[in-house]
Amino acid sequence: MPSRRYVQGWGALSLAVGAVLVTTAAAQVPAGGRAGGAAAPAPAVVMVGVCSSSGGLCRVPRTLVTLDAPTTVTLPAAATGPVDLVLRTPGRLADVTLADRRGRRIAGRTGADGTGWTSDVALPAGGTYTARLVVEETGRDGPRRRTVRLAVRTAKAPAGERLTVVFGPGGGERGRAYGVGQPVTAELSHPVQADAPLARRIVERALEVRSEPRVEGAWHWVDADTLHYRPRVYWPARATVRVRSGLDGARVSGRLHGGPSRSLTFSTGARVEAVTDVAAHEMRVYRDGRLLRVIPVTTGKRGFRTRVGTKVVLGKEPMVRMRGDSIGITRGSREFYDLKVRWATRVTWSGEYLHAAPWSLDAQGSADVSHGCTGMSTEAARWLYRTVREGDLVRVVHGYGKPMTPFGNGYGDWNLGWPEWLRGSAFGARKAGPSAAAGPLRPDL
């Protein structure tokens, strides 16, 4: 009977989408083979298969292809899961890269034993990709390496809806600097409901945030069409943050596929934090941990208490008109006001500011007389206005007001603990490792 041996060379690979296909490529050596019993080199064999991103058994027919010549494989529309490359003959994958036409790499990882590689995401529809595999094997003369390539095409997405995303802050103003408390926001063009956890995981995995220096961070679903991303601790000072979407062409659910979205790059400035101690009637302003100034202030009186907790600067206005009816005070009542206010730094959408209040100088540093804002002298308000930027942190401690809400009235994201933040991810609570950010920004009060 003819003998059977494993294919020599770089070996056989199993290429699957969403599942590992177990294959073994073999070659028959004829009884009347070449002198010395050595078989002619067999071509490298690749098994191409398709599975759904929902997992389970791979039931789509698979195709064998050889790589002794340039080879292109077209994956059908059912290819909705990650790509797996598995070496099934002796050897290991020394290096694997998968890139699109523009040279952008698809992220992935090699298994612990070095025989398999899996992409982090599914390949978007309607694309052409090149897989470059460096296979290390042991020959008669010691270890040797071979490099092979495989072109992979994905089927075009069917006509239908396209899910795109708009990133914030700044609507994509490249390179603009923000404070270290600024969350990244993602506004989706179509809602993805909580009862579609697989679709949410596809979306979340495709929204990529990278920073230099690196930090630990996560997305949190605010509602069906809004996500926020924040680090475990604040962004490092003078960091660069890059945000991009890998949704283009990805199948999200049913006939909903991702569309192209504009990326976002911004930087952070110095670590600036304004801490208002309501009980002490003063604000302390820090930059990179160093105290810059102590400012006497007045905060919200009984019935109009200033919210406690951590807020983020939303914007600044040199002059703003404030009226009592904007917060529910009836015109003509004793508490009604209509004022033009200078040097106003906004911290909530409902109208809480840090601003000049020359009419309350006698109370600043000793009593709470405002309708919820933090008032100070005109000179101090002007200095603060020029010192802080969007994304800087404003904390209110030792107060009597209601807690700042995490969402809906500005950026209260930092009022959620890290485990609670992770529970808002489509991947659930994960073990929180140490953050790369350099510790708390504030002294203990």
Quick: pLDDT tens for 213-247: 999 999 999 999 999 999 999 999 999 999 999 99
Confidence category of residue 156, pLDDT binned at 50, 70, 90: confident
What pLDDT shows up at residue 52? 52
Name residue 98's amino acid.
L
Average pLDDT over residues 96-114: 85
Residue pLDDT, tens place only, 366-420: 999 999 999 999 999 999 999 999 999 999 999 999 999 999 999 999 999 999 9
Q: Is the pLDDT of residue 98 over 90?
A: no
Q: What is the structure's pLDDT at 363?
A: 97
Q: Mean of the per-residue pLDDT values for the chain?
A: 80
- Rounded CA gap, 415 and 152, in Å? 46
Confidence class for position 42, pLDDT limits 50, 70, 90: very low
How much is the pLDDT for 13? 47
- Check: CB of residue 49 under 8 Å from CB of residue 21: yes
Mean pLDDT, to the nearest integer, of 33-58? 47
Span 243-277, pLDDT tens digits: 999 998 888 987 788 999 999 999 999 999 999 99
Name the band, by pLDDT with cuts 50, 70 and 90, for residue 81: low
